[in-house]
Chain A
């Protein structure tokens, strides 16, 4: 049977990539069930900036983040974090998934969830100790949830759950934060509190790449913009990238031809 290669094909990188970039994606193509959903993504995110990924529903924003974390198989391309790829960069990356991806009825407290952020540094078999518990408590305090540490997570509001996830990323003490819609369905006060934390992280030298859905606030919150619609429409500094023309190209209807071709590709390899 004819199949796309299961191992990513590493293509020689051109000179156009910035060697100092926090996140550097080269020629990344991702397929669900052989149906490509992201084509030839090629971009750099400079270190120490707040970057937004913006695009319509189904444009592959979450897919891009998951592929960067190796949570999805790649058809081709490679992803470098501070110049390194694969396992060596793992500790330097923290991930905030969408809130709906986990079961909030799970028997853990807010403090337990935040402490999970320390697991990667601990490595296999080492249990959570006093130092990790204190770090989790500090992170909860930083997002204003110190009083809720012992609560079972289903007893928290949506905004509080989102802040628990943020606190969990904080204890990872990463250099690159990948966040999937941290502002989804939170109230204005929570959104402001989250933005404050993101800015504080950036001021401490971290790089943040955030899936964002609100065009009203994107220029206010972020300084780097990635416009995505199955491929990168534009990527660069906010003022230069947030243009009417780019937005039209991103939101101006789905890429019907590309989508038809992708569906056909999915069928092609299955009908044999």
Chain B
């Protein structure tokens, strides 16, 4: 395995993280972990300057692994994976430590929060060293749609997909399409006819 050269990026998230977590102390610990080449703190790591900082470090310092300690990966994992990809690294050489939802937002004590953040970052650094490059698979798509339900929503969706040029099967359990809409007289607020 190549020698890991890890960059660690601690996000303040405005004050969402830094109000509760001593981000500088976390960065200091991180910088001493095995394989870590650089550890930095920034106000918003997801911002354009934040992303640029990571990309430049990958190029200038020859990083081959990246850890971002910030919010939940559901929010920005893809954002940072794209930064790696754009900088020429496999996006799976990335690990995220959630020190916002799992730490700063749920811990009141600054000392405890900082300790937990340190450990999460340490765990991410140790894990990222073992990451392997992975390649996504691509599969062809059958260009026909099934729409289940022939009320307003189903009819509207079917028409738009069909207008875009794709075949649609519109399945309705009743003998006619129309759904509740067909039962209505005039509709608010314009009092126009429903069918």
On whether the two chains bind one another, the answer is no
Interface residues, chain A, with chain B CB atoms under 8 Å away: none
Interface residues, chain B, with chain A CB atoms under 8 Å away: none
